[in-house]
Chains A and B, each alone.
Chain A
Amino acid sequence: MTVQTLGEIQGRVDISARALERTVVAIAASHLGVPTKDVSVRLADDSGLLSIAVSAPVRLPPLRSLSKGAGIPARILDARSGIRADVTTIAGAQVGTVGVSITKAHVVEERRVR
């Protein structure tokens, strides 16, 4: 904009690659339900869009529990679309491809209620 319109604040916002990466790690961790330290993210350019490659463990409900929930593929699919939507709203970047590779599974142990 050559002429700044009234009410608009002048200046710029720069988000460093590192900050963007940490943000995406946090978003991916919350969608996969695993701690952020287990999640690693690689960001790249996908012809102008942000492409995200997540590698993280997946959280499994106890195998003998009565409520098994959705299967892994369906949950990963949900997580991918959730990550894409959240990165766009939180970091303000248009997302191209989102790849998720599962490195291991965290099985949540059932504990007896004391």
Chain B
Amino acid sequence: MTSDTNSQRLYRRLVRRSLHRSRSSAVIVAFALGSLVLAWVATESVLAAVNAPALLLSPASITEAVNTPTMLTIAVAAAMAVVGVVLVALAITPGRRARHEIPDARMAVVIDDGVLAGALSKAAIRESRVPASRVSTVVSRRLSSVTITPTSGSLLSAPSITHAVGAVVESLAPRPALRVAVAVSERGVVGS
């Protein structure tokens, strides 16, 4: 019993890790840049303390540049602000990947949205009998939208296609749940 709940907990964790992007790469880059800058500032401070010539800029000239801003200092400050905003955004946003979880009693199943879209396209192709090249499906987090270009003279019924695609969505039961929207193009194509 305990092993069962343990594996379930493990599966939940694995699924969560697969559905969300890890922040480790962003963290590694940010810390590497930060430590480089800190090491440089420390080196310059020591050089200034022993009255040796600066590597790039002495601390005194940095404070002077900040106090009397030129175009260059403003540009550098703006670039740093942009980097900061990007890092904050990376930290706050959920970092979701384009994937859905398929609930299963015995396995942890995660499916790429592209694969899911292919399955829905196939259902729409089978129901509408148009060539595969004229059906396109986009799967986002909560909505799957199927677009079909009909063959001229074959009247397609959007509700029956919606029903067929909906049956596939229902049988897979992806989480988060998907709504199905089928659009039959106004203009068809002659021949198939």
Hey, which bits of chain A sit against chain B, CB under 8 A?
1-2, 12-20, 43-51, 87, 91-96
Contact between chains at B126 and A2 (CB < 8 Å): yes
Contact between chains at A43 and B190 (CB < 8 Å): yes
B residues in contact with A48, CB < 8 Å: 150, 152-153, 155-156, 184, 186-188
Contact between chains at A1 and B126 (CB < 8 Å): yes
Complex Cα spacing A109 to B126, Å: 55
Interface range for B: 20 to 34
Nearest opposing residue in chain A for B188, CB measure? A45
Q: Which residues between 130 and 162 of chain B lie within 8 Å of chain A, taking CB atoms?
A: 131, 150-156
Q: Is the interface of A mostly helix, strand, loop or mixed?
A: mixed
Taken residue by residue from 115 to 128, chain B's Cβ proximity to chain A (1 for < 8 Å, 0 otherwise) reads as 00000000100110
Query: Which of A1, A16, A91, A94 is the most central at the interface, judged by chain B CB atoms within 10 Å of its CB?
Result: A1
Contact between chains at B191 and A18 (CB < 8 Å): yes
**Closest-CB distance, A25 to chain B (whole angstroms):** 14
Contact between chains at A49 and B153 (CB < 8 Å): yes
Contact between chains at A94 and B155 (CB < 8 Å): yes
Contact between chains at B190 and A44 (CB < 8 Å): yes
Contact between chains at B190 and A45 (CB < 8 Å): yes
Query: Which of B154, B188, B191, B192 is the most central at the interface, judged by chain A CB atoms within 10 Å of its CB?
Result: B191
Contact between chains at B152 and A45 (CB < 8 Å): yes
Taken residue by residue from 177 to 192, chain B's Cβ proximity to chain A (1 for < 8 Å, 0 otherwise) reads as 0000000101111111
Is B164 in the interface zone, CB < 8 Å from A? yes
* 11 more A-B residue pairs beyond the given contacts A20-B190, A48-B186, A94-B153, with a C-beta to C-beta distance below 8 A: A16-B191, A19-B191, A43-B191, A48-B155, A48-B188, A50-B152, A50-B153, A51-B152, A92-B154, A93-B152, A93-B154
Nearest opposing residue in chain B for A91, CB measure? B153
A-B interface, 9 closest residue pairs, ranked by CB to CB distance from nearest: A93-B153, A17-B191, A50-B153, A45-B152, A50-B152, A14-B192, A45-B188, A94-B153, A43-B190
Complex Cα spacing A98 to B167, Å: 39
Contact between chains at B152 and A1 (CB < 8 Å): no
**Could you say which of B123, B150, B152, B192 contacts A16, with CB atoms under 8 Å apart?**
B192
A residues in contact with B129, CB < 8 Å: 12-13
B residues in contact with A49, CB < 8 Å: 152-153, 155, 188
Contact between chains at A15 and B191 (CB < 8 Å): yes
Contact between chains at B164 and A1 (CB < 8 Å): yes
**Closest-CB distance, B163 to chain A (whole angstroms):** 9
Contact between chains at A46 and B191 (CB < 8 Å): no
Complex Cα spacing A17 to B131, Å: 13
Is B98 in the interface zone, CB < 8 Å from A? no
5 contacts between A and B (CB under 8 A): A45-B190, A47-B187, A50-B153, A91-B153, A93-B151
Given A45-B152, A49-B153, A94-B155, A17 and B127 contact (CB-CB distance below 8 Å): no
